[in-house]
Amino acid sequence: MITKEALQFLADLIANNNTEWMHANKKRYENYKKDYHAFIASLLDEMKKLDPTLEPLEVKNCTFRINRDIRFSKDKSPYKTNMGAWFTQNKFKKNSPGYYIHFEKGNSFIAGGVWCPEPNELKLIRKEIEFFHDDLEAVISDKNFKSTFGDLDRDENNVLKKAPKDFDPNHPAIEFLKLKSYTVSQKIDDNLFTSNDFSKTIAQKLILMKPMNDFLRRALETEE
């Protein structure tokens, strides 16, 4: 669970997103960081029981810096006001499939899969789908998976209008092949983060993504 003190720190940071306030509240930030890491450790322990590929991970592999990258952003606020954790199936590979947890007041969610893979990685995933789309379709059609996530995430920025180059536009899995990212997500209630059984509850939701992540990992680890 996330402590009330950590949530209050984030709430105060939203109202005071500047370096002067952060420097004046350094002690609070250090306490927040400890709570943040403890939150990740608790969830990581639960996930390791369910997905052995996560065993090599340590808390430091799953955290995000609080500083925002403002180089190309119109919003120059220096700090993130959300809390996230990323559990990847292969910490040595940049775009290895994984599980993501996001707390942001009014916009909390869980997600997973592979987001914006590099062109060569995207091709590997599409090749795997081209030849083994039945395996992916079995994952997507699973009753528990479908009731939780519905389908792979689709929006106008994530779907090609035409079949990707070198792929048959009449392929039975063309709607999968046209995707640019392979992810799923579900919004969750903010209050869940402060419940005593948060880690177990969320782990049971996240692990539903494992068959999808296993398929994507298989694709990315296949030699062309």
Tens of pLDDT, residues 108-161: 999 999 999 999 999 999 999 999 999 999 999 999 999 999 999 998 889 999
Helices 26-50 and 4-15 sit at what angle, rounded to 10 degrees? Answer: 130
- Give mean pLDDT, residues 187-212: 95
21 CB contacts (<8 Å, ≥6 apart)?
Answer: 13
Query: Hey, where are the domains in the chain?
Result: 4-65+77-220
The mean pLDDT value of the chain amounts to 94
Distance CA 224, CA 219 (A): 10
DSSP string, 4-30: HHHHHHHHHHHHT-SHHHHHHTHHHHH
Distance CA 205, CA 176 (A): 23
What's the topology of domain 4-65+77-220? BirA Bifunctional Protein; domain 2 (3.30.930)
| Model confidence at 75: pLDDT above 90 | no
Whether 101 and 85 have beta carbons less than 8 Å apart is answered as yes
